[in-house]
Amino acid sequence: MRLKDKVALVIGAGSGIGRAIGVRFASEGALLAAADLVPETSQETARLARALGGTAEPFPVDVTKREQVRSLMELVESRFGRLDVLVNSAGIAGQGRIEEVPDDLWDRVVAVNLSGVFWACKYAVPLLLRAGGGVILNLGSVAGLRGWPGSPIYSATKGGVVMLSRSLAAACARENIRVWALCPTAVDTPIVERLFAEAPDPLSARKTYEANEPMGRLITSDEIASLAVYLASDERFAYTLEPFVV
């Protein structure tokens, strides 16, 4: 019960990494606010968390609408009395060569992957300060560290998440707010499955991709959730600016 009685808001909790983190947080004793664009998916995440004996409530949010993000923070604080942990996991893919992608795809991916994280951090920090400190976990990507072939938009937004996290970590460290950007390589999520499904031979595309991964396979959402629990817990460790990207 490493997160016992901590109030954790997971945005993008409806599937994939966000769902895995939310359910694991609740099983570790956190009071979970599961937020997602699709109400049915956040409701299912809350149900799964409660089935494990956790406490969880679903909340709807469109992270591209700053007022909805602001209202979400107010609702969470009103319902639970505080906020201790924020997880920004909402994200979408942005595939294609730069000269071929539709213009509006840039606007959409930036709005979800980067601006949505910015709004959530902006409106969560005052709540964390009122709680005496806390943790922000932003889902970045290895694509934001070294670029990803055929995905300039996604790489650009995840690079923005990394630097936003570094800057915020430096600004808030003395106020007892820890900020991390988790930067995994490809994770076995519905988004990645859809990308494979678009290939002429989905099974072959997956095998080829996995063969080039460091472990010869995709990372699982549960593996990311295990790291998130540790970073969100009160287990003490010293760190400098460099390890803010995990």
Catalogue the active-site residues.
154
51/13 Cα distance (integer angstroms):
16
Residues 78-95, buried b or exposed e (16+ Cβ, 10 A)? eebebbbbbbbbbbbebb
Please check whether residue 88 is in contact with residue 136, taking contact to mean a CB–CB distance below 8 angstroms. yes
Please check whether residue 133 is in contact with residue 176, taking contact to mean a CB–CB distance below 8 angstroms. yes
Identify the DSSP state of 174: G
138/9 Cα distance (integer angstroms):
12
